[in-house]
């Protein structure tokens, strides 16, 4: 399979800003071609690449006031090896409540809905199906600060909201789970996408309750506890307002996605 991904981000920087982007594909992939550029009012801006968890790559730069444009593109031939290794400490981290995945608050809901689901695989499938049927996908319906509890109350959201709710419910049932930012060929509407991963049968299995893209085409960008670890942009200081984001992700084949099958991000 060949996958090509791009992102084009435009920011209006109004106060000198310390910015961190998570838009490059993870180190598990070896792109046949890759480019990342940043310009401020047309002049090149230098950035530093930093290593993040699970092969994530961060790019940090300082921008003075002006129009900042960041472009990324990569082509990947073939698949990456799945992340099928996890030590006990890592599983503990992804079993705890986090800012946007309040598994402690949702424990009664999880017990009531999935207490009789059976083994971990059955619970995983039940959670994905339940979240997919209980929520409505509505663009712009949630705030960046919304967590799983608020999403469940609102019964609507976007991909990050679906994923946070899946993560929280899985953790509440004792299954380590985490959020993954991905490029998603076949996604409609196209954007950066968020999915969940759960530790089931000795590997990380992807959960996408939105069912908006085939799981077999996903390309990992960033992995963490929730959106606080995986956002495509962090403004650490100063001010930068998002003016435009354009994301593309294509694959030379879009496989069928059997929702009853365990799938890993490759």
Residue 38: give the domain boundaries. Answer: 2-79+233-250
Q: What is the pLDDT of residue 237?
A: 97
What phi, psi does 106 have (nearest 5°)? -100, 5
Residue 244 sits in a domain of what CATH number? 2.60.40.2250
Both 195 and 104 in one domain: the answer is yes
Rounded to two decimals, what is the model's pTM? 0.94
Q: What is the DSSP letter of 202?
A: T
257 domain residue, yes or no? no
Residue 206 lies in a domain: yes
Tell me the pLDDT band of 115, cut-offs 50, 70 and 90: confident
pLDDT band (50, 70, 90) for residue 83: confident
Backbone angles phi, psi at 48, to 5 degrees: -115, 140
102 & 152 share domain: yes
Residue 191 covered by a domain: yes
Same domain flag for 124 and 216: yes
Same domain, 153 and 222: yes
120 with 173, same domain: the answer is yes
Does residue 216 share a domain with residue 99?
yes
pLDDT at residue 85 in the model: 82
* 102 and 223 fall within a common domain: yes
Of the listed ranges 9-13, 84-88, 99-103, 159-163, the one predicted with least confidence: 84-88
Instruction: Locate 16 and state its tokens.
Output: 């000198």
| 122 lies in the same domain as 20 | no
> What DSSP line would sit under 20-37, residue for residue?
EE--SPPTT---SEEEEE
Across the chain, the runs of DSSP E, i.e. the strands, are 2-21, 33-40, 43-44, 48-51, 57-63, 66-77, 136-137, 156-157, 177-183, 193-200, 203-207, 219-224, 233-251
Let me know whether 37 and 74 are in one domain: yes
When pLDDT is averaged across residues 190-219 and rounded to a whole number, the result is 96
- Same domain for 210 and 120, yes or no, is yes
Taking alpha carbons only, the member of 194, 190, 251, 260 closest to residue 225 is 194
Q: Name the token pair of 192.
A: 């950066």
Confidence label for 84 from pLDDT (cuts 50, 70 and 90): confident
Q: What is the mean pLDDT of residues 158-162?
A: 97
User: Using 50, 70 and 90 to split pLDDT, how confident is the model at 100?
Assistant: very high
Q: Mean pLDDT for the chain?
A: 96
Check which CATH number belongs to the domain holding 201 and give it. 3.10.620.30
pLDDT tens for 161-182 read: 999 999 999 999 999 999 999 9
- DSSP secondary structure letter of residue 215: G
Shared domain for 54 and 140, answered yes or no, is: no
Vertex 94 angle, CA 237 and 97, to 5°? 75
List of residues 6+ apart from 229 with CB closer than 8 A: 53, 179, 222, 223
Instruction: Report the domain count for the chain.
Output: 2
Residues 120 and 61 in one domain: no
Residue written as token pair 């047309």: 42
């Amino acid at each position: 399979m060949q996958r090509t991904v791009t992102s084009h981000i435009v920011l209006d920087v109004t106060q000198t800003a310390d910015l961190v982007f998570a838009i490059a594909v993870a180190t598990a992939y070896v792109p046949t071609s890759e480019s990342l550029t940043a310009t401020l009012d047309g002049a090149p801006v230098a950035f530093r690449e930093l290593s993040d968890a699970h092969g994530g790559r961060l790019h940090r730069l300082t921008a003075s006031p002006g129009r900042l444009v960041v472009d990324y593109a990569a082509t990947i031939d073939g698949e990456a090896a799945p992340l099928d290794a996890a030590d006990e400490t890592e599983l503990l981290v992804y079993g705890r409540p986090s800012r946007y995945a309040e598994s402690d608050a949702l424990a009664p809901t999880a017990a009531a809905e999935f207490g009789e689901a059976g083994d971990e695989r059955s619970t995983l499938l039940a959670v994905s199906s339940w979240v997919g049927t209980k929520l409505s996908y509505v663009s712009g319906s949630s705030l960046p600060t919304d967590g799983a509890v608020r999403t469940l109350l609102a019964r609507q959201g976007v991909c990050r909201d679906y994923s946070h709710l899946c993560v929280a419910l899985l953790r509440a049932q004792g299954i380590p789970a985490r959020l993954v930012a991905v490029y998603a060929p076949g996604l409609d509407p196209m954007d950066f996408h968020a999915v969940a991963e759960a530790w089931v049968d000795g590997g990380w299995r992807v959960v996408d309750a939105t069912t908006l893209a085939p799981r077999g085409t996903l390309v990992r960008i960033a992995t963490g506890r929730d959106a606080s670890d995986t956002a495509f942009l962090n403004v650490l200081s100063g001010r930068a307002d998002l003016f435009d984001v354009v994301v593309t992700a294509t694959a030379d084949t879009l496989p069928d996605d059997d929702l009853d099958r365990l799938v890993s991000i490759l």
